[in-house]
A and B are shown apart, each in its own frame.
Chain A
C-alpha cells in the first residue's frame, strides 16, 4: 500500500511549546515538501527537500525547522518562534525535482492555545 502518511491527524499544544509533525512516504520519492493551509486559502510552502540530507526554505520558513535524514521521512518542527502556528499542515512528495506532480498526505490539524 504505497502512499504518504502524516501523524497525528489532530494535535493540540500550549503556546510556547515546540511540536513535531511526522511525514513518511513509501513511494521511493526523492523530493518532499511541507505546506501550510489557513482557512479559505491556498497552500503556502514552508520547506522542501530535493534529496536526503538536503532541504531549503520555502516562502514562510520562519518559526519552523525540518530534517531529512532518511529518504522516506521529513518531519516538521513548529517552534515557539512561529507567531501563528494554528493551521492545517500538509506534507507532499514527488518523484523528482521540478516538473513532477506532487502527492499529498492526509494532513495534520494543529491547534495552539
Chain B
C-alpha cells in the first residue's frame, strides 16, 4: 500500500526564518510527487516533482526529490505571515493521489 508521511506535524517560526518541510513515501509505482498549500479552503498547487535531484523553485519556495531515499523536502526562505498554511504532500502512483497528513506552518510577525 502506498504511504506518505509528512513531518513535522506543525511548526511555529518567526518572519524571516527559513523552514524545511519533509515528506517521505513508500510506493510501488512512482510517477510524481506533488506539493500543495492549503490556507483556508482549496489546496493550491505548488510543485510537481518527477526526477531526483532537480530543484524546482518559485520565488522563496523550492523543492527537491530524492527517489533513492524516498523523500522530498519543501524549503521556504525568508518566511512571511502569508506563508502560514497547511502544506500537503501527495504521491502520484499512476492511479490516484495519496496525500500525507500535512504540516501546519504558522509564521509569527
A contact set with B: CB distance below 8 Å: 4, 33, 35, 40-45, 48, 58, 90, 98-99, 101-107
Contact = CB atoms under 8 A, between A and B. Distances in A.
Contact of B97 (A4, A45, A105, A106): A45
B3 to A, nearest CB: 11
A42 B96 contact: no
B31 interface: yes
B72 to A, nearest CB: 15
Interface in B74-92: 88, 90, 92
B42 A98 contact: no
B105 to A, nearest CB: 14
Nearest to B45: A101
Given A58-B96, A99-B32, A101-B48, A42 B41 contact: no
Contacts of A98: 31, 92, 94-95
Interface of B: 4, 6, 31-32, 34, 36, 41-45, 48, 88, 90, 92, 94-97, 99-102, 104
Nearest to A31: B96
A33 B52 CA distance: 28
A40 B103 CA distance: 9
Given A42-B88, A99-B32, A107 B42 contact: yes
Contacts of A106: 41-42
Contacts of B92: 98-99
Nearest to A99: B31
